[in-house]
Amino acid sequence: MSEAIADTGAEAPLKNTPLHELHVELGAKMVPFAGYDMPVQYKDGVLTEHLHTRQAAGLFDVSHMGQAFLTGPDHETVARAMEKLVPGDVLVLEPGSTRYTLLLNEKGGIRDDLMITRMAGAENDGKLFLVVNAACKDADFAHIAANMPAGVTLSVLADRALIALQGPKAAAAMAELAPQTADQAFMTVNETDIDGAACLVSRSGYTGEDGFEISVPADKVEALTRKLLSDERVKPIGLGARDSLRLEAGLCLYGHDLDEDTTPIEGALTWTISKRRRAEDEFPGAEIVLGQITNGVSRKRIGILPEGKAPAREGTDITDMDGNKIGVVTSGGYGPSVGGPIAMGYVETDFAKDGTPLQLVVRGKARPARVAKMPFVEKRFYRGK
Amino acid sequence: MSDIRFTDQHEWVRVEGDVATIGISNYAQEQLGDVVFVELPETGKTLAAGDEAAVVESVKAASEVYAPVSGEVVEVNGALEDEPGGVNEDAMGNGWFVKLKLSDTSELDKLMDEAAYKEFCDGLD
């Protein structure tokens, strides 16, 4: 048998998150990921962990991700400074609400995807909370810091951990420790104490399920994690299931489904650019991106359902029914909740319509598939009362 | 009792008469995790030792299963196509992949016996 493919590691010594010892104690299989030694799975394995998250609640350590505050004199100043780098509407964000957006380069290519929250409270006017991908965080923060005007400052929160609690029972489990989070709506953030730890609780996630991402002081995260895990509905979930969960939810993995040579329009993320931002024309690569909105793109990100049982992994060639190459799979595998193979990838725009028949060339053999709507599973976000 | 041999790639081969049954070891199925897809060769196909005999996929990744010995495929375990989890349940028994009609029994001598394989796996952990 050949070795299973390992995640790419960094050359430098691996870093640990504040939960490293707990992962080892829980029997996790640790692998290098974005420069960190991270749990890919625990004892139950990827399949069971995935299904548990969809049925109950899964707890993920995502402390490798980058967290920062961007602060300035008032919201408008900070928002407008940030909007020089992203096409998302930061200005109209309500206090306490979050937006998914993209750091773009001058060609309109995606440097990273990120979450931006406008902090609530009068004392927090002019304060944004940023969460970026682990593999990009150093470059992102350097880029943001270098592009801020005088008076707007980036402070990286290196002393904070980040955990995610996801699944249909996440809210109930969370309410045991923090009843104040129960009615919090999707894509909002609350600054609140949980069990003596000053937390930033975001109702969001990367699984398609209801749940939370909780920013916790590094020295308090192990105690909070142990408390959450003492709830029998909550189990620790590794990066393996995190990947299959996000793929079923149709969510992009940066560096795979999105990169510096892909624009938001090609990436089917046009919805992240508001009318005002289109009209203002003031984000990196705006000319290219807005031109693509008007004139269309030559390739587009789509969901793919293989017709047989064979998974089509990242890098699999996509052809038309005559065998001409029309694209490539950027994420693919087995969807445990779907009960079969699923994928996403890029195809020439003529083939991007739902239901279009395609072929996937797996191990030299063309296999039938079709373009499918994403998500592959129903999203179950909590929109509030 | 039939004689069982192992490769350093974690395949096993059990010989009865001139037919060799091939599978992956219990160690291998544990390392892979839940098997979600198995692809088997056509019967009648001739494999040389080291050729790709089958493919086994977990949620995370695909791995090849190599023929430990040379021969012609006389039977495949079609049950795995519907129930790939059978590999996890009984890797050394009902989770077998293919049966080969041996073309060169001397190839078996190059493989590890059970004790040597156990020692080999212990050295990997």
Are B59 and A3 a contacting pair at CB < 8 A? no
The distance of A206 to chain B (nearest Cα, Å) reads: 17
In a domain, B43, yes or no: yes
State the pLDDT at residue A11. Answer: 62
In order, the DSSP letters of A185-237 are: PTTBEEEEEETTEEEEEES--SSSSSEEEEEEEGGGHHHHHHHHHTSTTEEE-
Are B64 and A311 a contacting pair at CB < 8 A? no
In a domain, B119, yes or no: no
- State which residues form the domain around B25: 3-106
**For every one of its 125 residues, what pLDDT tens digit does chain B have, with 9 covering 90 and above?**
458 999 999 999 999 999 999 999 999 999 999 999 999 999 999 999 999 999 999 998 899 999 999 999 999 999 999 999 999 999 999 999 999 999 999 999 999 999 999 999 999 87
**For every one of its 385 residues, what pLDDT tens digit does chain A have, with 9 covering 90 and above?**
665 444 444 467 999 999 999 999 999 999 999 999 999 999 999 999 999 999 999 999 999 999 999 999 999 999 999 999 999 999 999 999 999 999 999 999 999 999 999 999 999 999 999 999 999 999 999 999 999 999 999 999 999 999 999 999 999 999 999 999 999 999 999 999 999 999 999 999 999 999 999 999 999 999 999 999 999 999 999 999 999 999 999 999 999 999 999 999 999 999 999 999 999 989 999 999 999 999 999 999 999 999 999 999 999 999 999 999 999 999 999 999 999 999 999 999 999 999 999 999 999 999 999 999 999 998 888 877 6
How many Cβ atoms are within 10 Å of B44's Cβ, its own excluded? Answer: 8
In a domain, B117, yes or no: no
Contacts of A50 (CB under 8 A, 6+ apart): A237, A241, A244, A245, A336, A337, B59
- Picking from A1, A3, A334, the nearest residue to B59 by CB comes out as A334
Comparing CA positions, the residue from A50, A5, A132 lying closest to residue A339 is A50
- Picking from A1, A41, A363, the nearest residue to B24 by CB comes out as A1
In a domain, B113, yes or no: no
How many Cβ atoms are within 10 Å of B32's Cβ, its own excluded? Answer: 24
State the pLDDT at residue A318. Answer: 98
Q: What's the CATH code of the domain at B71?
A: 2.40.50.100
Q: Does B81 touch chain A (CB under 8 A)?
A: yes
Furthest CA-CA distance within chain A: 63
What ipTM describes this predicted complex? Answer: 0.90
In a domain, B19, yes or no: yes
State the pLDDT at residue A10. Answer: 47
Chain B CB contacts of A311 under 8 Å are 36-37, 57, 62
How far apart (Å, rounded) are the C-alpha atoms in residues A38 and A31?
5
State the pLDDT at residue A282. Answer: 93
In a domain, B81, yes or no: yes
State the pLDDT at residue A267. Answer: 98
Q: Which residue of A has its CA nearest to B56?
A: A1
Helix (H) or strand (E) holding A82: helix A75-83
Domains and CATH numbers, chain A: 20-62+159-248 (3.30.1360.120), 298-385 (2.40.30.110)
Are A311 and B56 a contacting pair at CB < 8 A? no
| % of chain A with per-residue pLDDT over 90 | 95
In a domain, B63, yes or no: yes
Comparing CA positions, the residue from A171, A186, A194, A213 lying closest to residue A56 is A171
In a domain, B111, yes or no: no
Q: In what order do the strands lie in the sheet with B35-39?
A: B35-39, B52-58, B62-66
Q: What is the pLDDT of residues A27-53, one digit of tens each?
A: 999 999 999 999 999 999 999 999 999
Residue A54 near residue A65, CB atoms below 8 Å: no
| Structural domain total, chain B | 1
